[in-house]
């Protein structure tokens, strides 16, 4: 080895602890694959006295990660704190500005400030690596930046959040309601005490913004992503989707279209015969399509200590070898040089309407759909309950999303409805 690469880690939660444990167990194996001897020298976290399942006594302790980021005693700053602003952003800026390389698992930071940080990295000949920011141990970032760099990509979609996938899988397997399965996910450690970012689609959107930037060769544009979560999905929708030959998954999707790109995060009904329908529980899967490679699937554990730590260490090994690749695969010259984002979708829909069972209700609904050129493919109603509330299930043929939404705004105002409708896009992935 020519010399050592001194590494400081900020954040000793699940991932930070995992990185230290991985080094403790696999250091000899790692250093056979490096250009420099990797050496963990410094750590920083909120509370030094906190009980941990790792030994940190051999490392230099920093109360403030910004001080560690500025220290001349480290070559690489590993940011595992999380969050898009505040200390994580400031510490990464300090590290890059002082010529240090940075490795992060922080998808929110990269999705929100990736352009600015990449420019700082380029100006200071520093590397900014973030393999662990998307899909845990699945090597999707490296694949897009390197292995697939010769391809024009026209499609990326996938399951990017294990919490949501676990909830939807368990609802399907057990028939339990959303709230009960969410509580089980929290007990098992698959969901945070505040799971909002997971279930409302924000976490998936952060990851999709990173993937989209790599696909398009432009800065991340989180604000352009249309986001819907899984909060409104009920066990009835899971059961009806099964009867119709579908399953429900929360997907992040970016598609190349004639007028630009579509970027969206939302629940999808997909055929049970689809490859992605078999990705259950906390697993992630990403489907990529290029003009020469064709369709490609990467799947595995998308979160957790081990898989995410593995991704962090892969970035450190790349740095030790001097693999200098711009953060997003190419230089991002202009933040405003962004291709037009086309958010309009043309496709079929599933609708669940809770209505009072009385004559003329279906005719009123059908009329509003017809007025917006939305064609009904099928109607399902189980049983009769005159004067009582029943579920009315409708699927449509392919239709313009704007027309569909206009029709649904009219339908929402009908007196027969007892609650807002549930609307899920049907995708033939």
> Looking at the annotation, which residues are catalytic?
207
Q: Strand, coil or helix: what is 76?
A: strand
- Residues 6 or more apart from 14 whose CB is under 8 A from it? 304, 305, 308
**Tokens of residue 314, six digits:** 């892969």
CA 84, CA 205: separation in Å to the nearest integer?
A: 13
């Amino acid at each position: 080895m020519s010399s050592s690469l001194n590494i400081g880690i900020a954040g000793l939660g699940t991932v930070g602890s995992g990185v230290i444990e991985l080094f403790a167990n696999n250091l000899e194996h790692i250093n056979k694959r490096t250009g420099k001897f990797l050496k963990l020298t410094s750590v920083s976290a909120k509370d030094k006295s906190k009980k941990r399942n790792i030994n940190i006594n051999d490392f230099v302790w920093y109360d403030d990660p910004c001080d560690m980021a500025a220290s001349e005693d480290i070559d690489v700053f590993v940011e595992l704190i999380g969050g898009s602003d505040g200390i994580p952003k400031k510490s990464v800026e300090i590290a890059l500005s002082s010529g240090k390389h940075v490795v992060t698992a922080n998808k929110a930071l990269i999705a929100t400030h990736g352009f600015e940080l990449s420019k700082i990295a380029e100006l200071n000949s520093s590397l900014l690596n973030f393999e662990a920011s998307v899909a845990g141990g699945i090597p999707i970032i490296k694949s897009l930046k390197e292995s697939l760099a010769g391809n024009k990509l026209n499609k990326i979609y996938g399951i990017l959040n294990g919490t949501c996938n676990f909830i939807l899988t368990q609802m399907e397997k057990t028939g339990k309601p959303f709230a009960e399965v969410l509580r089980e996910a929290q007990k098992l450690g698959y969901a945070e005490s505040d799971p909002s970012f997971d279930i409302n689609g924000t976490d998936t959107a952060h990851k999709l913004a990173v993937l989209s930037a790599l696909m398009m060769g432009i800065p991340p544009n989180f604000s352009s992503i249309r986001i819907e979560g899984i909060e409104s999905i009920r066990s009835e929708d899971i059961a009806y989707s099964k009867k119709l030959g579908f399953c429900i998954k929360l997907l992040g999707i970016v598609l190349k279209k004639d007028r630009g790109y579509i970027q969206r995060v939302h629940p999808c009904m997909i055929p049970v015969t689809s490859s992605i329908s078999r990705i259950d529980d906390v697993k992630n899967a990403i489907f990529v399509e290029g003009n020469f490679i064709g369709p490609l699937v990467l799947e595995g554990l998308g979160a957790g200590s081990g898989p995410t730590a593995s991704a962090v260490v892969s970035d450190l090994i790349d740095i030790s070898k001097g693999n200098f690749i711009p953060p997003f695969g190419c230089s991002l010259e202009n933040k405003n040089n962004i291709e037009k984002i086309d958010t309009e979708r043309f496709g079929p829909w599933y609708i669940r309407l809770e209505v009072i069972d009385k004559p003329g209700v279906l005719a009123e609904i059908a009329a509003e759909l017809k007025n917006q050129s939305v064609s009904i493919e099928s109607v399902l109603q189980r049983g009769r309950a005159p004067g009582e509330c029943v579920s009315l299930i409708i699927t449509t043929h392919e239709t313009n999303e704007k027309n569909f939404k206009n029709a649904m705004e009219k339908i929402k105002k009908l007196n027969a409805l007892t609650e807002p409708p549930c609307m899920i896009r049907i995708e033939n992935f």
